[in-house]
Amino acid sequence: MKDRENFKDSIIKILKADWGKGLEQAEIHEKYHSLSKAIMERITDDWNKTQQEYGKGKQAYYFSAEFLMGRALGNNLMNLGIYEEVKEVLEEMGMDFNLLEEAEEDAGLGNGGLGRLAACFLDSCATMNLPVTGYGIRYRYGLFKQKFVDGFQVEEGDHWMKYGDPWSVRRNEDEITVEFSDGKVKAVPYDMPIIGYGTGNVNRLRLWQAEPVQEFDFGLFNEQRYDEAVKEKNRAEDISRVLYPNDSKKDGKILRLKQQYFFVSASLQDLVKKFKEKHGKDFEQFPQYHAIQLNDTHPVVAIPELMRILIDQEGIDWDRAWEIAVHTFAYTNHTILAEALEQWHSRLYKKLLPRIYQIIQQIDKEFVATLKEKGYPSSKIKAMRILSDNRIKMAWLAIHGSHTTNGVAELHTEILKHQELKDWYELYPHRFQNKTNGITPRRWLALCNPELAAMITELLGTKDWITDLAKLKELEKYLDDKAILERFLDIKVQKKKQLAFYIEKHEGIVINPESIFDIQIKRLHEYKRQLLNGFHILDLYFRIKENPDMDILPRTFIFGAKAAPGYFRAKAIIKFIHEIADLVNHDPDIKDKIKVVFVQNYRVSYAEKLFPAADVSEQISTAGKEASGTGNMKFMLNGTPTLGTYDGANVEIVEEAGEENNFIFGARVEELEAIKDSYDPKVYYEKVPGLKRVVDTLIDGTFNDGGTGMFRELYQALLEGASWHKPDHYFVLKDFEEYRKAHEKIDEAYRDRLGWARKCMKNLANAGKFSTDRTIGEYARQIWHIEPRKIK
């Protein structure tokens, strides 16, 4: 950085202009804000140049309800190549960079893997100079901030913008009006820069904020009817107020639907407006300049919305409009779970979006006619109809209304093609592709594990691996180098000590960095089987109680997960794990042989500390239920073996690194498919040693669920079934014994320290496939048909 003094002056001027303070008086968040704005100043010219360059040809647009971005400051400085220099400048100014980093709130724009994948994709697009823009919603509050009270999850508002957002620019000139049957709202765009690594290109994430057409009714206000005067304002702002509002009741469902339509309508109107400015009304060219990727089913209402715009506003006939839409859209399927394939009751669309509903009716009618022409039997037509039994099937609409449907891991895509979407694959075999997910190596290794990154750079003699992750394969020549393996282990211990310090500070729990760190961090869902993990810990506890001299290595089990506010059983699992932790952590007989920690408010910034410190990556979903997973890749990239089922991207991880360097257990997809109608969990409950004892703790008084009945309901779901599924729907009891044996293998393998380090290095060296640079390159070439364009 040649202009250090100018940079310092810029920070101080912004501090004075925005906060009216000098350095000495400023709060830490004010210093963070001013530093961030100074960086924004530096990139603005390149950002504008990038948008001008991209405007010359075809661009791709990523429509997603979530973008789980994580903190921006450190990542942006690293990608700009000025991370260390800025730290030095701040030290010269008397500021602690670490405190500034911690002052940044995680942007509350996403929840789980779907949103984090979108964020990694944007990072890769910018780094690879690909003309891609993200479109989403600027939520005022994220999903929620999680805290635990007596082991129960309690949700609090996640006001991530309480001190402002220095990384966004409001664009009033691009304001759009979105219409619902019950009124209009303004969609105001806020643009967030996406800075590429090692390039001048700065891409864009455009997020829409909902605002009222009329701020307040002055007449009503003058009559002192204050609540009524701001009713329209509140209803409009509700649309972008909260990520995933509870939709267990009708009003919540309407709000969710409003969110979806709001952001896709604003985005499409934005694109159409800019297209007309350049190309007039020659909409035949629209797909030549626009590739729109629908990230899961949340934005699929974009298909009938584009039809509405083309037909009603631009006067294009139905057949031409349909052809334009199909050639514009592509759809990513993220789930195999039938209950997660989004459906809407037709009355909600009729009420809120009557014209869109008419268009969906017409799409369905034309589709049925096509199937009849092809000789499809009525039973199959009924199963494939987009609109049937008063339900709109968004996944069906997405496949029919786009040119490409992709799964996100090889196993996932094969299950879609031959099981879940078999009829659709037979109808449109040419439309199906696989695009195995990935992660950005910038945030998930270079930024969060600088110690390991420095070692890799030294061993390879170049930093090129940061943008060409396949180069990690060259590390295999060090697999038997004792000095390098020991150095890797030293770095792992260093990261474990850092995490232990952080957990003690934030959770008040002391953990042993010399123990095995066994980590399961992901959304709390039954199919991800945090319950299986809990049962094993409890079984281990009971066995140690019976045999205090049992020879096991000390183990720290770490969980991080949020349960959806209305997901009763997921919340029961959180409470159950807390009860286990309370029992284990306070029993002097255990002598810290095992310890259990459930970290609060798991998020990207916490994840950046957890992934590098892990010894064991828990990826234990029921086989065939996890579409891909990306947490498994983040662990792998930080040199952590996988303990997992043959599911999602775990399959490809062991293909790359070898099953002998990971710990695979449990029934596979084919076996579960064969037994699903005859499976009786009580056989395992009665016969597997120790299993009945741990399951019965749900009802025998060992643990207290605060009178909620949640533990008994969990017990009944396992052994008797529930209203919507058979007993032990996710085969927890069936896989328990194999899971326990896999843990015993880990205990044995970990004792050979160099052998363990070799497994870790083998995983690290073969993580190259799982870069989003590879994934995005495939999207660009095979789906979007766009080329890199680097600014001068």
- Which residues belong to the active site? 334, 522-523, 528, 630, 634
Residue 68, SS3 per DSSP: coil
Q: Which residues contact 64 (CB under 8 A, 6 or more apart)?
A: 114, 115, 118, 134, 135, 136, 295, 296, 298, 299
Q: Could you say which DSSP state residue 200 is in?
A: S
In contact, 181 and 112? CB cutoff 8 Å: no
d(CA 594, CA 470): 37
Q: Residue 507 corresponds to which amino acid?
A: E
DSSP H or E run through 673 = helix 669-675
Residue 658, SS3 per DSSP: coil
Strand (E) positions, 161-269? 169-170, 176-180, 183-195, 202-212
Greatest alpha-carbon span in the chain: 82
Torsion angle of C-alpha atoms 430, 117, 787, 59, degrees rounded to 10: 90
Burial of 784 (0-12, 13-18, 19+ CB in 10 A): buried
Pairing of strands 183-195, 176-180: antiparallel
Strand partners, 207: 136, 190
DSSP for 540-570, please give it: HHHHHHH-TT-----EEEEEE----TT-HHH
Q: Could you say which DSSP state residue 771 is in?
A: B
What does residue 558 show for φ and ψ, rounded to 5 degrees?
-120, 130
Residue 672, SS3 per DSSP: helix
d(CA 627, CA 413): 8
Tokens 């775990």 found at: 650
Q: How many Cβ atoms sit within 10 Å of the Cβ of residue 375?
A: 6
- The encoded tokens of residue 261 equal 């339509």
437: Cα separation from own chain's centroid:
11
- The encoded tokens of residue 581 equal 């932790």
Residue 610, SS3 per DSSP: helix
- Give the chain's radius of gyration (CA, Å): 27
In contact, 407 and 439? CB cutoff 8 Å: no
Residue 717, SS3 per DSSP: helix
DSSP for 369-398, please give it: HHHHHTT--HHHHHHH-SEETTEEEHHHHH
Taking CA atoms, 548 is separated from 46, 553, 588, 708, 751, in Å, by 64, 13, 11, 34, 20
DSSP H or E run through 368 = helix 354-373
DSSP for 154-175, please give it: EEE---TTTT--TT-EE-GGG-
Q: Residue 614 corresponds to which amino acid?
A: A
Tokens 């643009």 found at: 191
Taking CA atoms, 67 is separated from 122, 295, 400, in Å, by 9, 10, 26
DSSP H or E run through 293 = strand 290-295
From first CA to last CA, the distance across the chain in angstroms is 19
